């Protein structure tokens, strides 16, 4: 018997990270932030100044990189032994991640790295295709969304708290462009699994969303 998986998919800024981390902690389960895998690859690709149209080189880098995730109170990510945690949240990294995530060959290389997170006693997996592609057999699936405006304003606050320079109008535009790219790509597009519980968090507090997800597990 494989350990149980709860998948939480949805668009950028829907609150998946906060909800997933909290639910994983309550359950004592592992946590996979799959976006950080795409973001880490984006950083590796940007640092090597690879053209974003050069798919073959991006695939080679995806195969070669070593990623370590240390899950304490905060997630610490090391790329080839170097702590890149502070570089992960920026919008620039998210945009490059979204572009390279559209390449099927890149996704294929990163698939096993994500599956490896399915460890006892269980896993909460957060992303775009957790319930549809990576863990289609998961017994509990959630699709968490919110309006683009609400998500942009949350992302703006998050970035400000981290003292990262941000502009709300620009973030709204980027979130809409990222939604389009993630939804319209041919390979593993962002969409709710047929058997997912759909939650619109636009008018819900984080605690209310966590409660709904915990009710699903119970």
Q: Which residues bind ligand DC (CB under 6 A)?
A: 12, 34-35, 38-39, 94, 97-98, 101, 127-129, 178, 182
Q: Which is nearer to ligand DC, 28 or 145 (CB)?
A: 145
In the bound complex, what is the minimum distance in angstroms from residue 20's beta carbon to ligand DC?
Answer: 10
In the bound complex, what is the minimum distance in angstroms from residue 148's beta carbon to ligand DC?
Answer: 14
Q: Which is nearer to ligand DC, 188 or 213 (CB)?
A: 188
> Among candidates 74, 90, 85, 73, which has minimal Cα distance to 12?
90
Q: Which is nearer to ligand DC, 1 or 186 (CB)?
A: 186
Q: Which is nearer to ligand DC, 141 or 178 (CB)?
A: 178
In the bound complex, what is the minimum distance in angstroms from residue 100's beta carbon to ligand DC?
Answer: 8
Determine the Cα angle at 107 with ends 127 and 30, to 5°. 40
Beta-carbon count within 10 A of 202 CB: 12
Determine the Cα angle at 49 with ends 47 and 51, to 5°. 135
How far apart CA 165 and CA 206 sit, in angstroms, is 25
Whether residue 134 contacts residue 55, with contact meaning beta carbons closer than 8 Å, is answered with: no
CB-based closest residue to ligand DC? 35
């Amino acid at each position: 018997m494989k350990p149980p998986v709860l998948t939480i998919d949805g668009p950028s800024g829907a609150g998946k990270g906060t909800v997933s981390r909290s639910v994983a902690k309550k359950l004592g389960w592992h946590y996979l932030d799959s976006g950080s895998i795409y973001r880490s690859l984006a950083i590796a690709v940007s640092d090597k100044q690879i053209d974003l149209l050069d798919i073959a080189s991006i695939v080679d880098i995806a195969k070669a990189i070593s990623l370590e995730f240390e899950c304490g109170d905060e997630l610490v990510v090391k790329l080839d032994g170097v702590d890149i945690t502070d570089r992960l949240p920026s919008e620039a990294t998210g945009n490059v991640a979204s572009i390279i995530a559209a390449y099927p060959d890149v996704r294929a290389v990163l698939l096993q790295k994500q599956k490896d997170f399915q460890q006892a006693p269980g896993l909460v997996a957060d992303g775009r295709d957790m319930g549809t592609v990576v863990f289609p057999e998961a017994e509990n699936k959630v699709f968490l969304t919110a309006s683009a405006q609400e998500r942009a304003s949350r992302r703006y606050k998050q970035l400000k708290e981290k003292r990262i320079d941000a502009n709300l109008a620009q973030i709204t535009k980027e979130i809409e462009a990222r939604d389009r790219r993630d939804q319209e790509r041919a390979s593993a597009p962002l969409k709710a699994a047929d058997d997912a519980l759909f939650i619109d968090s636009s008018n819900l507090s984080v605690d209310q969303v966590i409660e709904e997800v915990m009710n699903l597990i119970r």
